[in-house]
Chain A
Amino acid sequence: MNKKLTKVLATSIAAVALTSTLAACGKGSASSNEGSGEIALWTHNAGNPDELAAVQKIVDSYNGSQDKVKIKVQAFPQDSYNDSVVSAAAAGNLPCIVDIDGPNVPNWAWAGYLAPLELDTDLSKHLPSTVAEWDGQPYAVGYYDVALAMMARASDLEAAGVRVATMEQPWTKEEFQDALTKLKALGKWEHPLDLGTAGTGEWLPYAYSPFLQSFGGDLVNRDGFQSAEGALNGDEAVEWANWFRDLADQGFMARKSGKDSTQDFLNNKSAIVYTGSWAADKAQAALGDDLVVMPPVDLGEGPKIGGASWQWGVTSGCSNTEAAMDYLSYSLKPENIAAVAKATGAIPASEEAAAQTPSFAEGGANRIFMDFSREYAVMRPETPAYPFIATEYGKAVQDILNGADPKSTLDSAVKAIDANIKSNGGYKN
């Protein structure tokens, strides 16, 4: 054998060896092996060890309760979770069970990712905002919800001569204006109010569309979800936009707040922070009895907050739908829901579970969030167009805050939303 041939052979062998090594050590374990009775479950909880551990405990308990299937958990970071799922769907590689941010459920159902739920659980006992429906059928169900609220220090309100807002008597628009004026006059804060205006993505519609709804507007006409005309650019919506921008123009809030509003509030950089139930334990630990949790402002149509958080669904391509549904039914037992609520501090999805969760049981420290959720929650529009609507609304919010004309900005958003709905055939099933 000549020298040249030896070299060619040696190079080829090295190349094959390299590729083999990569191949042998490289295949991950996320893909489920459904043929062997294994079902993959994807969750957004990587980096959230408490909730992930609670989910894993439910899975372990289910796996130990029967020997037909094994559920295998794969966790992804929350901010990039949707991209991972959409890519997997494009490649036809979705797992059997996924968790989904509630407002995205209709879109995923419409896109054919999800199958309607057929569970052995009475979903009517769950908080309405924890069950996502589309086309009259439930497609996802959650263990919990979260609720928005306004937090302040009782001592600051007292010093400014402002009463504490309650569910029985929330602040009106005029009272809110008066409260902010008095708080600003104390001179303790550059901006007494922090509405989290540095937020991006889903925060914008989640946090600010309830104000719009409290004025009487909405993101889209909910009768058929075929147009946003009148809802998002009518008189009430324009009134909301002017009010919202005025909060910044009058110096009550920053056009772009700090990156972490709760932390800024705890560092006494604001008097009132608009945040959610997820911040309650941290604020309670820092401020103790001085912390007051108040409902959002009643801007005309009563206080409103966004409904729906992360929920579970079964994918339409799952080869063992029956087992996936069986697992979901098992996971929705009150004790499992209570365990997740204890781990996360989120609002348990049912009264039965709340009764097993001290902070959310009647008289519990966080019970007020459950009451907010029950009384004020408005589902974000249950239409496959929602992700597009949310993006357009988010852009409009930022433009208005930065000085754009409210009416023409909202008109543009409506035009874009209507065009999108039309170009998708009305998102009909």
Chain B
Amino acid sequence: MKNQLLLKNAGTMLVRVLFAVVAAFPIVFMLVSSLKPDQQIFGDMSSLAAFLPVGNISFDNYGAVFDRVPAARFLLNSVGVSAVTVILGIFVNSLCAFALSRMQVRGKKIVFTAILATLIVPFQTLALPLVWWVNQLPYFELNGFSLEFSKGWLDTYQVQIIPFIANAFSIYLFHQYFESIPKELDEAARIDGAGWFKIYRQVVMPLAGPATATVAILTFLPAWNSYLWPLMVVQSEELRPVMIGIQYFFQLNVSWGEVMAYASLITVPVVVLFIAFQRSFVNSIASSGVKG
């Protein structure tokens, strides 16, 4: 009986390892190819050597990446834009969800339904009208000690951030999680003299860690992977995010080693973030009954 159980466990483990290996292949290929010259990448393609750091291995491709693309600047831009989007997104969406979950406001169900309905509309259909709109918005900048007003948000950082702060799916996730937190806690806090904001800040949010982590990841990933929008609204090189950078490599003679090196550079932060939040992420997805 014990042997049978051991055999079953070993079988399950083997299947898991096989799945893990298959899933890891593209990433291993990317990392390994980033260390090889182009000719070798293609030469190794038909053998297992494609996944092994063998042959003419060096970090030359990484050096070439920084020669071709201002990669450090792009990384910094993406980290900044993604971080601000995540922080403001958590704040704004959780506040909205809190109001919809806790406050007694007439018509809140209609509001919640309307918010959810926006999930149906794909971003691509809104992109062009949104470009027009953001170009009509007032813009101000500090020039010494005076504020100068002009029109249009194109070619700025905020145009990459502000349209993506409010997010229907994040509101939904927070709302579902808040619903699972007993309302008696609010009432107890209220008896102790707490206002709505204090209940939100000191009672509900500290209990909503998994939902916050999930929203953080689900906001971070599209912000980090953002391509179409910055392509449309950002013209200056110094403001571009990492995903635009990948296009720098697709010239008539593509250097695939450099492509792989750049792809490795921009993948690592995402993998690190996912590993850091993995437990909370899985917990929250499981508890909210949402399939990703």
Residues of A with Cβ closer than 8 Å to B? 19-20, 22-31, 42, 46-49, 74-80, 83-84, 87-88, 90-93, 146, 258-260, 262-264, 266-267, 269, 276, 278-279, 282
Contacts and interface: CB of A to CB of B under 8 A. Distances in A.
B239 interface: yes
B68 A47 contact: yes
A183 B161 CA distance: 57
Contact of A83 (B232, B239, B253): B232
Which one of B158, B239, B251 has the greatest number of beta carbons of chain A within 10 Å? B251
Contact of B256 (A25, A90, A93, A260): A260
A28 B235 contact: yes
Contacts of A75: 237
B248 A46 contact: yes
Given A28-B236, A91-B135, A262-B253, 6 more contacts: A24-B142, A28-B234, A46-B237, A46-B248, A87-B231, A279-B253
B158 A26 contact: yes
B235 A77 contact: no
A86 B248 CA distance: 19
A279 B251 CA distance: 11
Interface in B132-188: 132, 135, 139-142, 152, 154-158, 161
B60 interface: no
Contacts of B142: 20, 23-24
Contacts of A26: 156-158, 239
Contacts of B250: 47, 77-79
29 contacts: A22-B156, A23-B141, A23-B156, A26-B158, A27-B155, A28-B234, A29-B238, A30-B236, A30-B237, A31-B154, A31-B155, A31-B235, A47-B68, A47-B248, A49-B67, A74-B235, A74-B236, A77-B247, A77-B250, A83-B228, A84-B235, A87-B128, A87-B233, A91-B132, A91-B135, A91-B154, A93-B154, A263-B42, A269-B42
Interface residues of B, number: 45
Q: Secondary structure of the B side of the interface?
A: helix
Contacts of B238: 28-29
Contacts of A83: 228, 231-232
A116 B17 CA distance: 64
Nearest to B229: A87
A78 B231 CA distance: 12
A267 B43 contact: yes
Interface of B: 38-39, 42-43, 45, 67-69, 84, 128, 131-132, 135, 139-142, 152, 154-158, 161, 228, 231-239, 244-245, 247-254, 256
B156 A263 contact: no
A29 B155 CA distance: 8
Contacts of A23: 139-142, 156, 158
Contacts of B140: 20, 23
A278 B158 contact: no
Contacts of B231: 80, 83-84, 87
Nearest to A268: B43
Nearest to A26: B157
B125 to A, nearest CB: 14
A80 B42 contact: no
A258 B251 CA distance: 16
Nearest to B150: A27
Contacts of B249: 47
Given A80-B244, A84-B232, A74 B237 contact: yes
A28 B141 contact: no
Nearest to A84: B231
Q: For the complex of A and B, list the 7 residue pairs with the smallest distance between their C-beta atoms, beginning with the closest.
A: A28-B236, A47-B248, A77-B247, A30-B235, A26-B157, A28-B155, A87-B232
Contact of B39 (A24, A87, A263): A263
Contacts of B256: 259-260, 263
Contacts of B239: 26, 28
B68 A278 contact: no
A95 B290 CA distance: 46
